[in-house]
Amino acid sequence: MDLTPWIDIARTGTFEDSNGREHTFTEADLEAIRAGYDPAKSEAPLVFGHPKDNAPAYGWLHALKLEGAKLLAQFAHVPAQVKKLVQDRHYRYVSMSLSPDKRRILHIGLLGAAAPAIHGLEPVEMNTEGITINFAASPEEARPGGNMPTEQELQQECGKLKAENKALEAKCEKLEKEVEELKEDCKELEEKCEKLEKELKDESSDFSAFKDKQRAARVQALVNSGKLEPAKAAETISFTAALAKVADPVNFSTPDGKQEQISAEERYFRELEAAPADPRFAASFTAPAPGHYQTGAATVNPGDITKML
């Protein structure tokens, strides 16, 4: 008997039949098909297409076996003319017709342009040893061996791509709008930052001027109280301004014995202010009034003095 090699005719997965209905095959389903096939009782023919009366037969399904997730078949009595038609690529695919309960094979059909319900079939190849049919690992794999999609499949894919492209364009438009809004927000924030920096600079300048005035006033008070030599006033102002730049605080003991942390400038001022006054400097600014000056005396008119001469 002239038998073909073992051929993959089905695998596990979910597929759509010619009427658009989905069918799921498990390993248990494939095993049930295998176990239920008995060529001694009813042989399944190899036919062209899917004829309703399963005729004429161009070969017979001799046996089935299950290997993991695949159902394999072996055919007998395949004519040379059928091999020639397959070799000339007139029939490139294979499909399986089942009984309504999906347990009995009615026939195995060779297909031309029509796509099989089980996705991913490679084109059928015929050689002197028989028919070789391979299934792809999954429906998502690229069509191998020149298995071209149908016009309907191309139209569906084209429509899908157009819809995806339209969605991407809408998404890009939305993103571009968001970018423009972010640019406006950034511009507004930059303007606010510039304004705040200017205000901060102005306030810093005003505060610096206030500190300079306060420093000069304290130095002048030291001079007026006789605690600082007038000639050292400018030097003291410059020195305390330099101390103001020291960031780390220093310890200072108050008259009541408490410890507190103050700036280096403040400590220096407090030390000067706590020092005793120097009579030499104090006399220059707090000298008593002349002896002939009497507080509360009547105002003397120079004209009256002249008349008395």
Q: What's the sign of the alpha-carbon dihedral 54, 60, 64, 67?
A: negative
Exposed, middle or buried: residue 60 (CB in 10 Å: 0-12, 13-18, 19+)?
Answer: middle
Per-domain boundaries in the chain:
7-143
What confidence tier does 85 reach under pLDDT thresholds 50, 70, 90? confident
Residue 243: what pLDDT?
92
What confidence tier does 257 reach under pLDDT thresholds 50, 70, 90? confident
Residue 307: what pLDDT?
52
Contact 281, 299 (CB under 8 A): no
Highest mean pLDDT among 15-19, 195-199, 211-215, 250-254: 211-215
Residue 230: what pLDDT?
93
Higher pLDDT pick, 105 / 293: 105
| CA separation for the pair 71, 256 (Å, rounded) | 103
What confidence tier does 55 reach under pLDDT thresholds 50, 70, 90? low
Q: Is the pLDDT of residue 147 over 80?
A: no
| CA separation for the pair 80, 66 (Å, rounded) | 28
Q: Is the pLDDT of residue 123 over 60?
A: no
Over residues 139-168, the mean pLDDT reads 67
Q: Is the pLDDT of residue 138 over 70?
A: no
- And the tokens for 107? 């026939």
